[in-house]
Amino acid sequence: MRYIEPHAHMVSRTTDDYVSMVTAGCKAVCEPAFWAGFDRSSSKGFYDYFRQLTEYEPARAAKFQLPHFSWLCINPKESEDLALAQEVLDLIPEFLDKPNVLGIGEIGLNKNSRNEMTILEKHVDLAAKHNQLILVHTPHLEDKLKGTKLIVDLIKSDSRIAPNRVLIDHVEEHTVKYVMDAGMWGGITLYPESKATSPRAIDMLETYGADRLWMNSACDWGISVPLAVPYAAMEMRRRGYDDETIDQVFFQTPYNFLSQSPNFKI
């Protein structure tokens, strides 16, 4: 099979993971900017991180013949410090011309606070001014339902943003319809303990179709599985899906969204 991994934090992964992914049929990996697991002490840390995402990590992936793409932002977990967040926002435009950058992401909310929303609005404005795709992180667990609605409503209210250029990630059964009804794309994250399992992800595809829903591993420094996407393909085979449908779900659908960026070439 062939597949695209549309959300993976490869800076946290080993070269063994690159080997496994390419062996399983991965044709491209996309890496949103995210929280490092600790708060960075200054905007200089983000400058170095953005260089890592746009220079070093694509070169590391290329050693395994894997095209690497990235998204840029400050994660909502670090948005409570408005001054720091503004400094980081000011850094982003100089990186948007890098050849592997797909857009602004993964932006969004974490605890649904006022400052998080302020910085989300600034990210959306940045995307609109630079005609960038948007990748959205939705909050965890008990905060997801409220946060997803707040995020979708904010983006819908900005007439400069076309809904079909926005992907709302980490949808689950209680949020996926809200995203689909808004005309946006949805991402289902396959995690061992939270978010969704492969059987639940396939259930959602059977309800809402595969035209605007993709699956990702969102593998990072926490409990996560870099091969979760091809494992989900195996689960689809167990349910009786054919090769053509599996290719649609795991390659064509993410390709269709990502190729709205002129930088996504594979």
Which residues would be at the binding site for other proteins (CB under 8 A)? 35, 77, 80, 110-117, 139-146, 149-150, 172-174, 194, 199-200, 203, 205-206, 209-210, 236, 238-242, 245
Residue 29 CA to residue 216 CA, distance in Å, equals: 10
| Structure tokens that stand for 221 in this block | 């420094």
| β partners of residue 101 | 70
Cβ-proximal residues to 221 (8 Å cutoff; 6+ apart), any chain: 9, 12, 36, 37
Helix, strand, or coil (residue 35): coil
Q: For residues 94 and 173, which CB has a smaller minimum distance to other proteins in the complex?
A: 173
Q: For residues 51 and 239, which CB has a smaller minimum distance to other proteins in the complex?
A: 239
Q: For residues 41 and 63, which CB has a smaller minimum distance to other proteins in the complex?
A: 41
| Chain centroid offset of residue 3 CA | 15
The least CB distance from residue 262 to other proteins, in Å, is: 30
The least CB distance from residue 35 to other proteins, in Å, is: 8
Residue 241 burial (CB count, 10 A): 17
Residue 97 CA to residue 159 CA, distance in Å, equals: 24
Q: Are 117 and 150 in contact (CB under 8 A)?
A: yes
Q: For residues 16 and 142, which CB has a smaller minimum distance to other proteins in the complex?
A: 142
Q: For residues 240 and 262, which CB has a smaller minimum distance to other proteins in the complex?
A: 240
Q: For residues 54 and 138, which CB has a smaller minimum distance to other proteins in the complex?
A: 138
The least CB distance from residue 126 to other proteins, in Å, is: 21
Q: For residues 57 and 116, which CB has a smaller minimum distance to other proteins in the complex?
A: 116
Residue 219 DSSP label: B
Residue 151 CA to residue 168 CA, distance in Å, equals: 9
> Could you tell me if residue 167 is left (phi over 0), alpha (psi between -120 and 50 degrees) or otherwise beta?
beta
Q: Are 170 and 195 in contact (CB under 8 A)?
A: yes
